[in-house]
Amino acid sequence: MKIRYFQDTDTLYIEFRGADVAETRDLDEDTQLDIDAEGRICGITVEHAQKRVEDIPHVSFEEVAV
């Protein structure tokens, strides 16, 4: 997984898998979901991220074992 923040456009992109995107679906006016040919989520784009996501420069990742 990769998380990228583009400060110049205030866009946050979360990539779950590096597959070819077959379709992009609008979830709302500023959020898009990228899907591969098999229907699996590839990534999520969040526009105007500073207004919508708190504390962008600081990322915490936690993996929880089952």
Q: How many CB atoms lie within 10 A of CB 28?
A: 9
What pLDDT does 55 receive? 63
pLDDT (tens digit per residue) in 2-61: 888 888 998 989 999 999 999 999 999 999 999 999 999 999 999 998 887 766 666 666
Bridging pattern class, strands 23-28 and 11-15: unpaired
Q: What is 29-63 written as a DSSP string?
A: TTEEEEE-TTS-EEEEEEESHHHHSTTTT------
What pLDDT does 22 receive? 97
What's the whole-model pTM score? 0.79
